Chain A
Amino acid sequence: MHKVEFELNGEPVSVEVEARTLLVDALRGGLGKTGTHVGCDTSQCGACVVHLDGRSVKSCSLLAVQAAGRRVTTIEGIGADGGLHPLQAAFREHHGLQCGYCTPGMIMSALDLLQSNPDPDDAEIREWLEGNLCRCTGYHGIVRAVRAAAAEMRGQG
């Protein structure tokens, strides 16, 4: 067993894992952060996207031991003071979800995009979300939500 310490949503955490334990399983199991979903478990669908040191990664394709000493952010860690993050609010407002299974990964992926590109056009949003699959919405609502959240975050909402 390995004792792994890292920063989770701004708080130091410590968890005992096997070498083979995936980060997503450590998050959902020992650490109780079940907002991050497991969709395909084959690194295709993006339901498990979290941030590692501020960049989006698929937590089903990362060992928990690889997160040692790093900064991990999950969907639970992005809203301020218990409220919704602008991306979460925009997904609700613009019908960016139906069943909601892909939503945490979609939002964490989109947040990574907006950190480096605060004003993406539709093509850039669609290209960026290549690694996130949604089987409900047909993506139109998701793209609208990301664009609306981008405007809100730029202070033009």
Chain B
Amino acid sequence: MYDFEYHRAGSVDEAAERLGANSEAKLLAGGMTLLPTMKLRLAQPDVLVDLGGVEALRGVSGSDPVVIGATTTHAEVAASAEVGDHIPALAALAAGIGDAQVRNRGTIGGSLANSDPAADYPAAVLGLGATIGTNRRRIPAEQYFRGMFETALEADEIIVSVSFPKPARAGYAKFANPASRYAVVGVFVADTSEGLRVAVTGAGPCVFRVAEMEAALSRDFSPDALAGIEVPADELNEDLHASAEYRAHLIGVMARRAVAAARG
């Protein structure tokens, strides 16, 4: 990879200042996407601002909502007693990301800022109706995801934490790519105080909800309630891993498995 200027930020404010000073600067959290991307020269930032030393961004607290700091790793979320007690589906989701070494470095904030269309976390964030807290504002999940690798974040805005309301019950199921463990299709189903929510990742340009499934599940929270509901393949992703039609089919299968997981 090409060389760059490296700064280790001591605080969120310092990182924001560095980020604001150069439009080609990027934040480095776990680096599980950014560093491989830079090695392939698909990204060439002039400046990297490392958040690894900002302790305030790390850790899990609370029960409803469960608040997860931006640089908390997937392994830490998977092992967190708070997450395991209050939102076990979220702990299970984190435990299934990538491989053990990716989970030891990759962070929730990094994943959400990158917003890979096949990432797992977006499904939980939209499925649970979480709120993204930044150094400037609080962004509801509905307004956060804008498209493929596109979010509501401004260029110099930094995710500080993610607040997940505790659901009555929730489940996540994904059909993982056998090599990368990214979601070919992943579905997060949650029974929340705001109603029934179904969020799909991996299938489209970014995570989306399926209103018809939500309506059916709010009448009858069972896998059978989803019988006959088809998501149109028109706007779904098509690549060497799966056709759009196959992804459409997988949404139904994963949704039924997620409901079964939520029912326990």
Contact = CB atoms under 8 A, between A and B. Distances in A.
Interface of A: 2, 18-20, 41-44, 46, 49, 52, 55-58, 61-63, 65-66, 68, 109, 112-113, 128, 130-131
**7 tightest A-B CB contacts, nearest first:** A131-B99, A19-B6, A130-B99, A55-B104, A20-B3, A58-B101, A131-B101
Nearest to B73: A55
Interface string B1-43: 1111110100000000000000000001001100110111000
B150 interface: no
Contacts of A52: 104
B50 interface: yes
Given A55-B75, A62-B105, A130 B3 contact: no
B102 interface: yes
Contacts of B31: 61-63, 66
Interface of B: 1-6, 8, 28, 31-32, 35-36, 38-40, 48, 50, 52, 75, 98-102, 104-105, 179, 181
20 contacts: A2-B6, A19-B3, A19-B4, A19-B6, A20-B2, A20-B3, A42-B36, A46-B99, A49-B101, A52-B104, A55-B104, A57-B104, A61-B105, A62-B31, A65-B6, A65-B50, A112-B104, A128-B100, A130-B100, A130-B181
Contacts, number: 72
Contacts of A43: 32, 35-36, 101-102
Contacts of B5: 19
A46 B101 contact: yes
Given A43-B36, A61-B31, 14 more contacts: A2-B6, A20-B1, A42-B36, A49-B101, A55-B104, A56-B100, A56-B101, A58-B101, A61-B35, A65-B50, A66-B31, A112-B104, A113-B100, A131-B100
Contact of A42 (B3, B39, B75, B102): B39
Contact of B102 (A41, A63, A131): A131
A4 to B, nearest CB: 10
